[in-house]
Amino acid sequence: MINRTVLVGRLTNDPELKYTGSGVAVATFTVAVNRQFTNSQGEREADFIRCQMWRKAAENFCNFTHKGSLVGIDGRIQTRSYENQQGQRVYVTEVVAENFSLLESKNSNQNNQSEQFGQNRPQNNGQNYQNQQNGQSAPSSNPNDQFNSMPDIKDDDLPF
């Protein structure tokens, strides 16, 4: 069975970082994803998808993103339910993000942010972050380090 979700969209607000009672970081955020088609008025609609991210990836995500950031999210769909104060059962469907990518260049992102929000926060261009629970850690500060350890591939080795 497969439960895999990939989203590309913009954050509707700054991600919210909280910690559980045992000190585990959890970030919650909403990604606006444009639909591939237009409605009857010729306008493109969007879906607003609730997401959460855990542990070190959540902290990194909150440090490097803000409202309006263009992000790629890789994760799984999760459903849960709870009883509200009126005793009604409430069902929630959200994406549990395991990895993320920043999809705007550092300069573009800072320019947009400065113009729209009048502040500067650190950005990390083109970096992919993976959840530490998968046994993988955030990349080094040099984005080219991931390519330095790749094997030498010759044209004759490629199948096409």
pLDDT per residue as tens digits for the range 3-51: 999 999 999 999 999 999 999 999 999 999 998 888 888 888 899 999 9
Record the tokens describing residue 99, joined without a space: 């990895």
The Cα 160–Cα 151 span in angstroms is: 18
Dist. CA 36–CA 150, nearest whole Å? 36
pLDDT of residue 159: 55
Taking only Cα atoms into account, the Rg of the chain, rounded to an integer number of angstroms, comes to 19
Q: Return the H-helix or E-strand segment holding 87.
A: none
The predicted pLDDT at position 116 comes to 47
- pLDDT reported for residue 94: 94
